[in-house]
Amino acid sequence: MTPQRKIIHIDMDCFYAAVEMRDNPSLRDKPIAVGGRASGRGVIATCNYLARSFGVRSAMPTHKALQLCPDLELVPHRMAVYKQVSQQIHEIFHRYTHLVEPLSLDEAFLDVTGQSHCQGSAKLMAQAIRQEIFDVTGLTASAGIAPNKFLAKVASDENKPNGQLLITPDHAGEFAAALPLKKIPGVGPKTSERLARMGLSTGKDVLALSDVDLEKMLGKFGPVLWQRCQGLDERPVEPSRIRKSVGVETTLAKDLTSLEQCAEQLETLVPELERRLAKSRKGIKGQTVKLKFHDFEQTTVSQQSQKLNPDLFKALMRIAFDRGHGRNVRLVGLQVELDNTQNLKQLTLPLV
């Protein structure tokens, strides 16, 4: 009989901002954010909970954050420090299990099924891990404990900051059915709005439909959503995740107003993409162009391709730009989908 899986999702509390408050105690009682300056195209990377009380959020333009919170203290990135702290945290994870799947510098899934630590209790292991993180780094973390990755991730956000939540197998379905759909990973703002227009706001609402109905309405994500609303997720914790894509993008200091200006960005982006692709030593099976417009809406256009082709990027760029219906462009991005079944045969191609 296969043992019931025990998954822990650990998520540091406002990680970058917490490191800055730890290293500079004068910031602890102030609303702070780590990110770029408002004078450029600054974006908030993260902020502390006091700043969040004013409505400041990650990925928000800095100028908007300052409108919401005029006393916001802006702190520049110190990525080398964050990486060093992250390494300390991940060393703690590996004391409890070798099945650790990093999601970013400050969060990870841990499969502790069958581990003997803390009498085999995943709840106690999560408490112990969080305490060790605090003892070593002085930072707090939150945790979700559940029989699968989806529920563990959602649970880790329920009692933030510095808390945890256990979802037992017996309560998994009940918990998922009561969830607001916007809390389910994969349901972004636009999908949430679309579901609301359909009269769907909770997992229970979704379960009144069939997976076939949802596939017609939402495409491939429909059946996935149907599974999640039942509290189901069979994905394993993957310590060595295979990289599926390589990308590069640039946020412009000044909006681009024409297709020609967007196409000019290929002259710097394509060589950088080639350099990153060469490091991966993989072939490709598709190319994508991403444009983000001045109102922060974005679009992506993709096409299958077995060789990196700058001319294809130009064609995809034209389609993406036309979708903007005259809107100015603030970000241009390129991406290739990797073919992990073969080595890269041609690393560079000249711009035409």
As a whole number of angstroms, the distance between CA 9 and CA 5 comes to 13
Q: In what order do the strands lie in the sheet with 44-47?
A: 44-47, 32-35, 73-75
Which pairing describes strands 44-47 and 100-104: parallel, antiparallel, or unpaired?
unpaired
Instruction: Say whether 23 counts as a known binding-site residue.
Output: no
Other beta carbons within 10 Å of 187:
19
Closest CA to 125 of 151, 102, 143: 143
Q: Do residues 350 and 267 make contact, with C-beta atoms less than 8 angstroms apart?
A: no
Q: In the 8-state DSSP scheme, what is residue 296?
A: S
Q: Is the peptide bond before 161 cis (omega within 30 degrees of 0)?
A: yes
How big is the chain, counted in residues?
352
Q: What is the 3-state secondary structure (H, E, C) of 111-164?
A: ECCCCCHHHHCHHHHHHHHHHHHHHHHCCCEEEEEECCHHHHHHHHCCCCCCCE
Instruction: Say whether 205 counts as a known binding-site residue.
Output: no
Question: What does residue 283 show for φ and ψ, rounded to 5 degrees?
Answer: -80, 180
From the list 20, 107, 132, 337, the catalytic residue is 107
* Token duo for residue 334: 């390129």
107 a catalytic residue = yes
The residues with which 164 forms a beta bridge, in sequence order, are 143
Count CA atoms closer than 13 A to 86's CA, side-chain side.
16
Amino acid making up residue 49: Y
* Token duo for residue 346: 């041609």
SS3 319: helix
Question: What does residue 129 show for φ and ψ, rounded to 5 degrees?
Answer: -60, -45
Question: What does residue 278 show for φ and ψ, rounded to 5 degrees?
Answer: -60, -35
Give catalytic residues, as residue numbers.
Answer: 107
Binding residues for Mg(2+): 11, 106
